[in-house]
Amino acid sequence: MISSPGSIFHLAVLLITISACLTPFCSSKSGAPAPTLIGNGYRLISVDKTADGALIGHLQVNRRNYIYGPDIPLLQLYVKHETDERLRVHITDAQHQRWEIPYNLIPRDQPPAPSKQTAGRSIEKPIKPTEFTGSELIFSYIPDPFSFTVKRKSNGETLFNSASDESSPYNSLVFKDQYLEISTSLPEDASLYGLGENTQPHGIKLYPNDPYTLWTTDQSAINLNMDLYGSHPVYMDLRNAGGEAKAHGVLLLNSNGMDVVYRGSSLTYKVIGGVFDFYFFSGPAPLAVVDQYTQLIGRPAPMPYWSLGFHQCRWGYHNLSVVEDVVENYRKAEIPLDVIWNDDDHMDGHKDFTLNQKNYPHHKLIDFLNKIHARGMKYIVINDPGIGVNASYGTYQRALANDVFIKYEGKPYLAQVWPGPVHFPDFLNPKTVSWWADEIRRFHELVPVDGLWIDMNEASNFCSGLCSIPKGKQCPSGTGPGWICCLDCKNVTKTRWDEPPYKINASGVPVPIGYKTIPTSAVHYNGVREYDAHSIYGFSETIATHKGLLGLQNKRPFILTRSTYVGSGHYAAHWTGDNKGTWNDLKYSISTILNFGIFGIPMVGSDICGFYPAPTEELCNRWIELGAFYPFSRDHANYYSPRQELYQWKSVAISARNALGMRYKLLPYLYTLTYEAHTTGAPVARPVFFSFPNITKLHGLSTQFLLGSGLMVSPVLDKHQTKISVMFPPGTWYNLFDLSKAVVAKETESFSMDAPLHVINVHLYQNTILPMQRGGVISREAKTTPFTLIVTFPAGATNGLATGKLYLDNDELPEMKLGTGQSTYVGFSAKAANGLVKVWSEVEDGEFAVKQGLIIEKVTVVGLAGVHGEFSVSVDGGSGLSTAEVVETELLFMGELIGKGKQKSKMVEVKGLEIPVGKSFTMSWKMVVN
């Protein structure tokens, strides 16, 4: 649904250019020092080791400063090497408990609690600078003014340095009740990624002097360089020294609003509450950083197999017959479709957990669901957190009885969203979580949906301030846009929570942070203020929704959420919100999706063809070609836009059949990547530099990306283009749509590639084994078809090793894991050496795949010479298969060969096989040797 078309307001600010900070204390664009000190720093007055090997110390303010409020006089410092690769630095008030992310939401070790009795005493001898060394990282400090440094043990490289001097454009450590500041110096050539969610027009790399504000906001993705739906205060830093790249990660686990000022040579956090809770991840590979990060925040959720199919949605499917027609038209057009969605059209008056009996009669909807479920299709509906204030509405009545709403002055806070007047559930309250799960259960008994889409959960509010239902008039009126505030509201910005002393750059305009959301002085469970908990609202709803779905039938849940925070990927997928049907938005989608992979939310996609307004036919062609390779692939359109299902244009239908046809062949590969994500955090869609970190010219590449480690997608991103420039890292890259065509790059270089209207360039890297199936128009059928293994070697090679993997399971199980009898893992290998080619597999828990009757029907090896003789196949030590047929094809190349010449390189297809996937096999033959 449209970003509470409260986001219509934000369209007006799209072209506003604004600095990263609205105060006189920020640095200038030139990086000149700040003219006024906000604090005078702290000095370390005590330090000691704890029983578990951590450091604990106390910091005393040097001299109080009253800008943005008085400094907190005494701080507690806690430092611990939590793992070999992870260092934690926690700084808080030494005498009073402060807000932190609840430990039950993101489970982690808890530092010693602050205590007035145990506050440190100043020791007699001066404290000397010292180092606290772990396996991979070193923490060191300077006592006065206090600063700390994190270094890499292997080479002494400084990763984070909070020291400042007179030439620095930032302050020493500042810690006030409502303003915290800390900075780090950076080398100018560092490449930084993360700090989102925002739409970055310059590509995936952070861009100096662009604003990076973290505060979950209902603001559409078309707004550039602004705080959007999610808050992820984490960044990856990639540096290349002497040709060897090393990456590390930095997380500030804090949910309060913040500006992060990146100047190129430094980065400054300006936070309006909470604590400094830093986690440093040593890497050094980009994949290792994400692995270490998700080990802390929670591994990405296991995804159902069907969720990797294609999804169709629209706000404006006015009745069930329209939905039925959409499904039927996809079938007639032979365009793959796994999931049909309803926005709020199915609801009674936009109210959650209800059904519009006129437009979606219950018995007819159940008949429809029985029909599509029998086919293997799925059905998902939307849910918003705002619960309509309506005495006859059962969900509302039960909510009141359970006292689950966020309060203002002791009463449920009144807001307005799609149903009209609403209250917002407080998901920090355990009773709310139980009530929410019960409502999900009740609705599922009415309509057996296959997942839930939770939207508007920043939280979005069409009004601002303290409101009441007007007397004597209908609200909403039932005419005109539904997002116009019709409540009687008054300003509540006079509290220090609603009008904090430091103004973050919320919404890119100088509005109160409570604008079009819950007032930040509102109160959650146990007295928690919205001021602190605002940016975890959607996260807490996601956890409650996951618990509710998991409790239904103990099946694997599927949740799509708009608002996200650190750890949301442990429970849900994400889409990038309201985008436009423009070529720029097509480009922007790549960077946003790649960022979310770094954030630990790998199941992510953008609305294909754009949410609004109408895309051109050419744009929709190109968008489905790209969107077919998003991890989450869904077409979604606005109520006010023309219909844009993929069958609406003949040309788009052709592109959809081509691109989605390939996606459905790749489903086993994509599913294996989701298993890798679930077990190691590895993003499904990755920047190209993840596989080639030492190549600096790839560090900013934002127009191409990888699926896994070696499948590169290079879309057309501009109109009227039939050729594009594609950057290829060194090696051989095979055209996935025609493996007889390859590109060989001696070094990282760009090639001009043909890209007619219905073509997207997808290339498979050397030394890879890619499992594929025949495909189909629905995942349930596609996953039963025979497999082909594509084995790639460098063109012209006579020696080499290729590897690949395959994970299969019963995707209704809540977990993705081996050893249950309901899953199989296969490792594939291929080796060329001494004139012999050998391809083999090693199988774990093969019984599941054997029971499914899955077979390998073809093995295709590209890049080597042809077959000379002595071909053999054995399965689990059994006799060879006599039905195999070998076909050789000459390869066509673009670029120079690495090796001995084009005549040595062929595509060898071994057809007619019937090798059970669940059994180990070995295949070998002699190569032609010149």
Active site residues: 455, 458, 578
Tokens 């959409």 belong to 326
Helical spans, DSSP H, in 494-637:
530-533, 537-553, 583-598, 617-627
Q: Distance (Å, rounded) from C-alpha 425 to C-alpha 415? A: 12
Q: What angle do CA 538, 539, 543 make, to 5 degrees?
A: 115
Q: Distance (Å, rounded) from C-alpha 763 to C-alpha 731? A: 12
Q: Distance (Å, rounded) from C-alpha 404 to C-alpha 434? A: 10
The DSSP bridge pattern shows strands 633-635 and 607-608 to be parallel
- 727 phi-psi bin (left φ>0, alpha ψ -120 to 50, beta other): beta
Instruction: Indicate the residue type of 502.
Output: Y
CA proximity to 346, closest of 379, 371, 374: 379
E-assigned strands of 176-219?
A: 180-185, 191-196, 211-214
CA proximity to 638, closest of 657, 614, 669, 664: 614
Q: Distance (Å, rounded) from C-alpha 880 to C-alpha 923? A: 9
Instruction: Indicate the residue type of 889.
Output: T
Q: Distance (Å, rounded) from C-alpha 413 to C-alpha 518? A: 8
Q: Distance (Å, rounded) from C-alpha 168 to C-alpha 266? A: 9
Q: Distance (Å, rounded) from C-alpha 879 to C-alpha 558? A: 44
Q: Distance (Å, rounded) from C-alpha 697 to C-alpha 678? A: 30
Enclosing H/E stretch for 789? strand 787-792
Q: Are 782 and 667 in contact (CB under 8 A)?
A: yes
Q: Are 626 and 591 in contact (CB under 8 A)?
A: no
CA distances from 617 to 440, 609, 622, 755 (A): 39, 9, 9, 16
- In Å, the largest CA–CA distance within the chain is 94
Neighbours of 135 (CB within 10 A): 10
Verify cis geometry, omega within 30 degrees of 0, for the bond prior to 476. Answer: yes
CA proximity to 312, closest of 329, 291, 332: 329
Q: Distance (Å, rounded) from C-alpha 819 to C-alpha 179? A: 50
871-880: Cβ within 8 A, 24+ apart: 871/910, 871/923, 871/924, 871/925, 872/923, 872/924, 872/925, 873/913, 873/915, 873/921, 873/922, 873/923, 874/921, 874/922, 874/923, 875/915, 875/916, 875/919, 875/920, 875/921, 876/919, 876/920, 876/921
Instruction: Indicate the residue type of 434.
Output: S
Verify cis geometry, omega within 30 degrees of 0, for the bond prior to 613. Answer: yes
Instruction: Indicate the residue type of 882.
Output: S
